[in-house]
A and B are shown apart, each in its own frame.
Chain A
Amino acid sequence: MMAAAARFLIRGANPKLSISGGGTLLKLSPSCSSRTKTQRRHAAHFTYHPDPVPTQYGPTTKMNLFQSVTSALDNTLASDPTAVIFGEDVAFGGVFRCTVGLRDKYGKDRVFNTPLCEQGIVGFGIGVAVAGATAIAEIQFADYIYPAFDQIVNEAAKYRYRSGNLFDCGNLTIRAPWGCVGHGSLYHSQSPEAFFAHCPGIKVVIPRGPVQAKGLLLSCIADQNPCIFFEPKILYRAAVEQVPVESYTIPLSQAEVLQEGSDITMVAWGTQIHVMREVANMAQEKLGVSCEVIDLQTILPWDVETICKSVVKTGRLLISHEAPITGGFAAEISSTVQEECFLNLEAPISRVCGYDTPFPHIFEPFYIPDKWKCFEAIKKMINY
């Protein structure tokens, strides 16, 4: 019906423009003749590192991140007759194409559009879930989740607790595109995970690429707690991997050590993982510093053990996220680690995060915690 709904708003996530070179994330002055040179020199604030091809889950096919999300939803609708998917424009495939073809395959009773009403969407989802069905709600952008904040924080998160375990909405999963996208400005760029991390009773999960996205999303759907699944929208098209076709799960609340190292532990999630990987290479090459890169994956409840074990080994911790630094989730990690690993620390824990400002319109390249900022933090920690 709405084949091009996909392209609504999403130009910024077009890999041609923002990731693979040739384009630029930056807004450039049109009057500047030297611009083309500049443009060519600088593509994105990260280079995507695909995961190795997984072998343990059967045959794989090439998918980008939005296709791996579709694949997870497809598996769910096929295996769980109670599963329903709803949200703004999802019947047409959604703004980011994540639900393409599902309405045609499973019917309009199971994949349907809602009116424009986030609070209603989540509240409705809680009802669907508490009555026993598997509810998968899409919020069009993480920035638009706030009208539903009350439903998530006061209703979804507390249902089990306040009913003495008689009722729960564990069958509810909320998906939302998340993070910076190149020029999304104030309301298409936010990373609100820390707001929800303050809320016992919901799980918050963020994947770094297609393989993780599918496994983690299927875990969220299967998990008996309401989950929020944030999808890095800049990766929807840019991240391409061999993804298993069949259903598989990746455990929640388990961080993954992506690269072992001995001098510094680097923790991030989502897009920022790819920045970290590049910084780890730079640190090795330019400083001879060996970095251990860890993808936290689940923000709440988070894997304290894996992080602390690593910090005990390396003695240094760098945490990085796009959201503003004050009250960001890095603060929680930092505080916990200094409690647990105080005597192992060789340098103060470092956080490289967004500025304490709204997500800016034209200053995005300056706002984001890019590799240069992270690299500088490493130098400081090593020389401390």
Chain B
Amino acid sequence: MQNMLTIISNALCRITGRHAGAQTVSELLIDLSEYVNITSPTAPVMVTTERQPPEPPPVSARAPEAQLVSAQTDAVARPGARVVVSRSYADFTPAMTFDIKKCDVHRLEEGPPLKAELTREQGLQYYRTMQTIRRMELKADQLYKQKIIRGFCHLYDGQEACAMGIEAAINPTDHLITAYRAHGYTYTRGVAVKEILAELTGRKGGVAKGKGGSMHMYAPHFYGGNGIVGAQVPLGAGIALACQYQGNNQLCVTLYGDGAANQGQLFESFNMAALWKLPCIFICENNKYGMGTSVERAAASTDYYKRGDYIPGLRVDGMDILCVREATKFAADHCRSGKGPIVMELQTYRYHGHSMSDPGVSYRTREEIQEVRSKSDPISLLKERMLSNNMASVEELKEIDVAIRKEVEEATQYATSDPEPPLDDLCNHIFANSPPLEVRGTNPWVKLKSTS
């Protein structure tokens, strides 16, 4: 495709005597549109475009949990080996048990434990993952402001402990589905930063081949990335039925926001899941706002953990990775033991506005945001725990930060230099079909082919 581009672009240059220099399909179209009718059947772009190059390799099989991050970031794979510290490993506390906040429970005799053990290895891994998500989101913010990412983009910073805590408590083979605020989960489900950023910039190497953008990202056992608020929830119940039917002891984590919690589809799903005792953890990420509407203004009951009514529920501190992990483990045990679904409310906070065009400060105060940032930031909380208990050193964490920064920079490089998907992709993947299907174009004499 890139060759085609160059050829056409050069030809155009010769004809017009002007330097066109198109590097991408859309630029070429602009250039062309000034001189020829690009939809005419004689125009080369439409008719003779090569078929799509071989598909990019599928998203790499998901790394086992313990290696999740290190598998993706070679640079930080062996932090101990790279870090020069005056102390040896033996000086660090290998594991600690922490008191964690008690969950509110609904229709449960007993909730998750009040203590959680954290090993040094786990702590470093959680730190790395959450920090990577944070850096990635800040980079996305920057790329958006530079107009390199366009369209609709919803950032996850502030909510990192939810994605990491859930992932730490389920198996890689369990299933997960969420809405459009999906970057964090895409990462914890095993997709590399560069594939996420390349999706944001609409490039071929993006996790959805550049066709989805911010709201639509996927991975094995991760069903996206869904744009219509609430619509993913019944899907989650259906996925849970598949788990039950196959008897494989898997479950489905079905996520939605506090705003989505008011959609009718949720209650339809709750009923089905409870009726058939499906292994589904419904998780409401309550970040206190649905766009500009605070929870109190939108919900008759803001006890989201009770809104499954006949379904047991937990209200969890979503800013503490250990709380999220323990609660999710509890919920997963509940599901796997055949007791049916459970509802979990994670109380969390989004630092950014709803999307990139929302500065996020008109419906909440800057002080409110600052307060959360300074008192309950999920990354700082974990960092504090580790440092004050001698589970890690400042230098070591700094090293990790540096490596993450490097990884994100490299990913950015990739996401801004990778080519756009070929034009053929406009029509591909509409139906499952072989042989290729004719797609009617903007007018009767232009037909494109669709393959899947």
A interface residues with partner B (beta carbon < 8 Å): 1-5, 7-12, 26-35, 37-38, 41-42, 88-89, 92, 95, 113, 115-117, 119-120, 143-144, 146-147, 183-188, 324-326, 350-358, 360-363, 365-367, 369-370, 372-373, 375-377, 380
Contact = CB atoms under 8 A, between A and B. Distances in A.
A307 B136 CA distance: 54
B61 to A, nearest CB: 26
B421 interface: yes
Nearest to B26: A26
Nearest to A372: B37
Nearest to A184: B151
B211 A360 contact: yes
Contact of A354 (B260, B355, B357, B442): B442
A33 to B, nearest CB: 8
B417 interface: yes
Closest 5 CB pairs of A and B: A34-B21, A115-B262, A362-B202, A187-B227, A4-B362
B416 interface: yes
A187 B214 CA distance: 12
A325 B438 CA distance: 13
A361 B444 contact: no
A325 B31 CA distance: 26
A361 B151 contact: yes
Contact of A363 (B31, B228, B426): B426
Interface in B345-364: 353-359, 361-363
B448 A117 contact: no
Interface stretch (B63-71, B289-297, B313-321, B329-337): B289-297
Contacts of A356: 430, 439-441
B33 interface: yes
14 contacts: A4-B361, A5-B363, A9-B152, A38-B22, A38-B31, A147-B231, A188-B152, A355-B426, A358-B430, A362-B213, A363-B26, A363-B426, A366-B423, A376-B443
User: Most A CB atoms within 10 A — which of B27, B354, B439?
Assistant: B27
Given A42-B34, A116-B262, A377-B443, 10 more contacts: A2-B292, A5-B291, A8-B354, A32-B23, A92-B292, A147-B264, A147-B265, A362-B211, A362-B213, A373-B443
Contacts of A5: 291-292, 358, 362-363
A26 B442 contact: no
A101 B448 CA distance: 48
B11 interface: no
Nearest to B24: A29
Contacts of B216: 186
Contacts, number: 220
Given A5-B291, A89-B292, A372-B38, A365 B363 contact: no
A179 to B, nearest CB: 15
A92 B228 contact: no
A360 B440 contact: no
A110 B355 CA distance: 28
A355 B441 contact: yes
Contacts of A375: 37
Contacts of B381: none
Interface residues of B, number: 77
A2 B211 CA distance: 33
A355 B443 contact: no
B426 A360 contact: yes
Interface string B9-38: 000000000011111111101110110011
A146 B416 CA distance: 35
Best-buried of A11, A34, A35, A366 by chain B (most CB within 10 Å): A366
A120 B265 CA distance: 11
A370 B29 CA distance: 12
Contacts of B265: 147
A376 B40 contact: yes
Interface string B286-304: 0000111100011100000
A38 B362 CA distance: 36
Contact of B363 (A1, A38, A143, A147): A1
Contacts of A88: 291, 293
Contact of A34 (B19, B260, B293, B298): B19
Contacts of A362: 26, 202, 210-211, 213, 420-421
A376 B21 CA distance: 26
Contacts of B427: 355, 357
Nearest to A5: B292
B357 A144 contact: no
